[in-house]
Amino acid sequence: MNQPAVLTGNFVDEFERVAKNLPGGGEFAGRRAAIERFRALGLPTLRQEAWKYTNVTPLARRAFRAATREDAATAAATLAARLPEYAQGIRLVFENGQWREDLSHRGDLPAGVSLRVLFDVLRDAPSEAARMAAGEANPFQALNDAFYTDGVLVTLAPGAQVEPPIHLVFLASGGTEALAIHPRVLIRAGSGARARIVETYHGTNETATLTNAVTEISAGEGAHIEHYLVQDESAGAFHVGHLYIEQARASSVTSHAIALGGLLARRDIEVRLAAEQAGVILNGLYLTAGRQHVDHHTRIDHLAPRTASDEFYRGVLNGSSRAVFNGRVLVHPKAFKTDARQSNHNLLLSGDAEVDTKPELEIYADDVKCSHGATVGQLDADALFYLRSRGLDETAARGLLTYAFAADVIGRIGIESLRRELIRRVVGRLPGGELVRGML
Amino acid sequence: MAYCGRDLLALPPEARAREGVFLAFQYPVEIPGVNNVYLMKASLNAIRKHRGEPELDAVEFLKLVKERVRLVQMDDSFLGRAVNEGFSGGEKKRNEIFQMAVLEPRLAILDETDSGLDIDALKIVASGVNHLRGPDRAIVLITHYQRLLDYIVPDVVHVLSGGRIVRSGDRELARTLEQRGYDWLKEVAAA
């Protein structure tokens, strides 16, 4: 049988075109090795298990131009108007992946907290901009390695604590051609450090963009990190994101992943609980409508004893949209007394919407506690009747129950301004939302 | 089944509620994420709108619910909780009576409101119901036991068997039934 040709789109040609202008040039920091890796791998296809339900081959049919500093030229006032309301205080703003100093403020950072723009890091100390988890067989991460020009490096010294949330806002304003944006966020937390980081991806107009983001968190011993991802890109946007979390002893990381926008969005979250008593919480919510496609793949490796993971994902699907959830949990041989919980519940508001949900538990240790549950369903008929018996019409009752289903995830968000804004966004997106707003 | 000149069964549940019918559930549904007081606000305003009355403003509404929640001896924190979520059996029943107190129905149907209640909760529920008795309100109490009727003394007692009223009387009928059992009625009916 003939091996089907590897699909690489125009990414390799584009690399050759821009390589000399990338920070450090084409040979720098393994960029060329990365593009070779991508050339060999090609874009994922439906034949690969991890991409079985998500077709990214349309990316090969478009010519994406790599965004450069010239693509960050929107008037400050125009862009400022598109910033989310909650992104106040400490914030770094990027337009098409390029830092907008004029819209950013770092504020007075506490001692031991450093917030650096990757463009500067690439110039001054390039080795610090490299990923921890480099080299694996993921073509999108290879593209990020090859093309990335900017992003953020957050460094927290041991014991450093920063109380206000750190906002990283990535605005995709697009351009006349389809743009590819490869941002990178690195969060390095020393032992006992604490911080809350909010990554927001917004689209400001309807042109096609590809955002291919990589985020890494390393949490030192006893560190405590809350990480928020809000993906609310435009209706024509492709969004691929990889979040990699590595945790030391007794560290705790909470990730909230909220997916509202984009035409096609794929989010991979990989967690390595590398030492005893490390604990991770993964919360997630996706709302889809129209022809949107949203895919979440999570993988948690319990590598040491007494590690804990708690995963809570919900989805609300309307129109002919499609969602994929794949939650893989691996309990390695030494990881006795692992406590792993996972749930993924989906609400289908339309007969044409479709969900593929798959928990994957692999347990190689004794004396562990693991549970998982996945459901796909409609609104509870008894609850609907109860609300209607109190005088609410069917549309309002449905709206209220749908909102409540989603609010269960939003309610876990610890930053009040963000929670309020997301509630507003979620209510605005749901059928019967106007009626629900009147009730809240 | 006629109610105020209308066919009750032809109406959807929300229309029944708006026409002044309240159903207290035997097993009230838990609705996580929906705040008790938000539901009452939406509910009361839907009913008022139907009657052509203006919606209550936030201040008036809060005053009303805070007053009514006292009837079932719950504190204000009860208002902010999600509808029936994590409520004990007694709290769920008290919540039903609280809702009834806010919505002021013309006809209230209380379906086995005494089931699963300990004696203290039963007294609270009964006292709430008694407060809501009045000439403009009919209350249909469905129960299997005399116990509830010691606290809510009925005006009329109907005995239902196989979906039909087989006997009607005053409070004494329920007492006799409690002493002699339902078999007594079956024998009487057969004779």
Interface probe with B: pick from A312, A314, A316, A390, most Cβ of B within 10 Å = A390
pLDDT of residue B191: 66
Domain count, chain B: 2
Q: Are residues B22 and B60 in the same domain?
A: yes
B4-23 residues labelled b (16+ CB within 10 A) or e (exposed)? eeeeeeeeebbbbbbbbbbb
**DSSP 3-state of A12:** helix
pLDDT tens digits, one per residue of A132-162: 876 567 999 999 999 999 999 999 999 999 9
Residue B1 forms part of a structural domain: no
- Mean pLDDT value across residues A153-177: 95
Q: How distant is the alpha carbon of residue B101 from its chain centre? A: 9
Residue pLDDT, tens place only, B91-144: 999 999 999 999 999 999 999 998 888 999 999 999 999 999 999 999 999 998
The tens digit of pLDDT for each residue in A309-352 reads 999 999 999 999 999 999 999 999 999 999 999 999 999 999 99
List the beta bridge partners of residue A127. none
- The CATH number of residue B44's host domain is 3.40.50.300
The verdict on B59 and B128 lying in the same domain is yes
Q: How many CB atoms lie within 10 A of CB A181?
A: 29
Amino acid identity at A78: T
On whether both B137 and B169 belong to a single domain, the answer is no
* Same domain, residue pair B115 and B34: yes
Q: Which residue type occupies A156?
A: L
User: Are B116 and B63 in a shared domain?
Assistant: yes
Contact state of B33 with A393 under an 8 Å Cβ cutoff: no
Round the average pLDDT of chain A to a whole number and report it. 93
Best residue of B8, B9, B11, B14 to probe chain A, by most A CBs closer than 10 Å: B14
Question: What is the pLDDT confidence band of residue A433, given thresholds at 50, 70 and 90?
Answer: confident
Decide if pLDDT at A29 tops 90: no
Residue contact B25–A408, C-beta within 8 A: no
B31-78: per-residue pLDDT in tens? 888 889 989 999 999 999 999 999 998 899 999 999 999 999 988 888
Are residues B114 and B68 part of one domain? yes
Q: Could you read off the pLDDT of B144-172 as tens digits, one per residue?
A: 888 899 999 999 999 988 888 989 999 99
Nearest-CA distance B142 → chain A (Å)? 18
Of the candidates A364, A403, A395, A398, the one whose C-alpha atom is nearest the C-alpha of residue A381 is A398
**Per-residue confidence (pLDDT) for residue A135, from 0 to 100:** 59
**B118 and B61, same structural domain?**
yes
Domain interval for residue B126: 12-145
Residue A1 above 50 pLDDT? no
d(CA A145, CA A149): 9
In a shared domain, residues B137 and B170: no
**A55/A205: higher pLDDT:** A55
Count of A–B CB contacts within 8 Å? 74
CA separation for the pair A120, A106 (Å, rounded) = 15
Partners of residue A423 in chain B, C-beta under 8 Å: none
- CB nearest to B32's CB, from A385, A391, A404: A404
B65 and B34 both lie in a single domain: yes
Query: Are residues B135 and B159 both part of a single domain?
Result: no
Same domain for B138 and B72? yes
* Candidate from A382, A386, A392 with C-beta closest to B46: A392
Instruction: Let me know if residue B109 belongs to a domain.
Output: yes
B95 and B171 both lie in a single domain: no
Q: Is the pLDDT of residue A176 over 50?
A: yes
Report the C-alpha gap between A97 and A99 in whole angstroms. 7
ipTM for the predicted complex comes to 0.94
Domain ranges of chain A: 11-275, 381-440
Assess contact for A313 and A283: CB atoms under 8 A. yes
Task: Tell me what pLDDT residue A109 has.
Answer: 93
